[in-house]
Amino acid sequence: VSGVAIITGGARGIGAACGRWLASDGLAIGIVDLDPSAAGDTVAAVRAQGVGVCAAEADVGDAASMEDAVARVAAELGAPTVLVNNAGITRPGAVHKLDPDDWALVNRIVLQGAFHATRAVAPYFREADGAARRVINIASVAGTFGAPASSAYAAAKAGIVGFTRSLAFEWARFGVTVNAVAPGFIETDMTAGFPAQARERIVARVPLGRVGTPDDVAAAVAFFASAASGYITGQVLEVHGGLADVAGATA
């Protein structure tokens, strides 16, 4: 495939794995991250695949910052054809204790962030020229099942599913497919702070018997970015080793 993928939060974790997978499929990679200084290894890995790469600093929660970052990637690598809305954070806390500022921050980055990034690529994606374009949103099993002490995160991730299905309708006439990948417990910086006991409890609930890796998620993202998924839109693919619920989990 040729084209340019923009990956928000692509400096680390799941976003970095998406960069490596999409690069190996031939896409140039525009990493957009609050902290692009963490993207060094990913940039080198992508470059080693022989495709273009750049890392732009931006805050997905800020519309102007995202517009600017997309313009910078487009100027450096060409018009974007794939958007992976991956940047996300979580703030744990039971509803009655959660600071309203934390609730707002999670929503600002997860939900509004996906909106701002998608809006920023709209001028490039809303083109009825027959080119295959893709939006892939990273949701979470927390959004599907709910998760204790994670209401802000679960609500924002459930919102991502509604956003995915709505955008799938809106952009279908431009040939853009819009899908979501909903990971379970994946080993990244986000989950590194989990107490060992909580982690063991989660693994015990995973029929496949292990936590997930960023590559497990990136493989599903690569499928949605590929020509093979061209007739699939508005879907949510869960990548969680068979997990039936996330009670006790906060990822």
Ligand X SMILES: NC(=O)c1ccc[n+]([C@@H]2O[C@H](COP(=O)([O-])OP(=O)(O)OC[C@H]3O[C@@H](n4cnc5c(N)ncnc54)[C@H](O)[C@@H]3O)[C@@H](O)[C@H]2O)c1
Tell whether residue 88 is a contact of ligand X (CB under 6 A): yes
For the bound state, the minimum distance from the C-beta of residue 64 to ligand X, rounded and expressed in Å, comes to 13
For the bound state, the minimum distance from the C-beta of residue 231 to ligand X, rounded and expressed in Å, comes to 26
Taking residues 105 to 134 in sequence order and writing x for each that binds ligand X by CB under 6 A, - otherwise, the string is ----x---x---------------------
* C-alpha radius of gyration, the chain, whole number: 17
Query: Which of 4, 7, 11, 23 touches ligand X by CB under 6 A?
Result: 11
Query: Which of 80, 185, 202, 243 touches ligand X by CB under 6 A?
Result: 185
Tell whether residue 14 is a contact of ligand X (CB under 6 A): yes
**Which residues, 33 to 52, sit near ligand X by CB under 6 A?**
33-35, 38
Is 153 catalytic? The answer is: yes
Query: Would you say 40 and 62 are in contact if contact means Cβ atoms under 8 Å apart?
Result: no
Tell whether residue 137 is a contact of ligand X (CB under 6 A): no
Q: How far apart are CA 82 and CA 127, in angstroms?
A: 13
Tell whether residue 241 is a contact of ligand X (CB under 6 A): no
Quote the distance between the C-alpha of residue 91 and its chain's center. 17
Q: If you search the block for the tokens 């609050």, which residue do you land on? A: 34
Stretch that binds ligand X, among 85-93, 94-102, 168-176, 219-227 (CB under 6 A): 85-93
| Long-range contacts from 61-66, C-beta under 8 angstroms, 24+ separation | 61/108, 61/109, 61/112, 61/113, 61/116, 62/116, 63/116, 63/119, 63/120, 66/32, 66/113, 66/116, 66/117, 66/119, 66/120
Q: Treating both helix axes as pointing N-terminal to C-terminal, what angle do 113-125 and 151-171 enclose, rounded to 10 degrees?
A: 20
Annotated catalytic residues are 153
Q: Rule CB under 6 A: which residues touch ligand X?
A: 8-9, 11-15, 33-35, 38, 58-61, 86-89, 109, 113, 138, 140, 183, 185-186, 188-191, 251
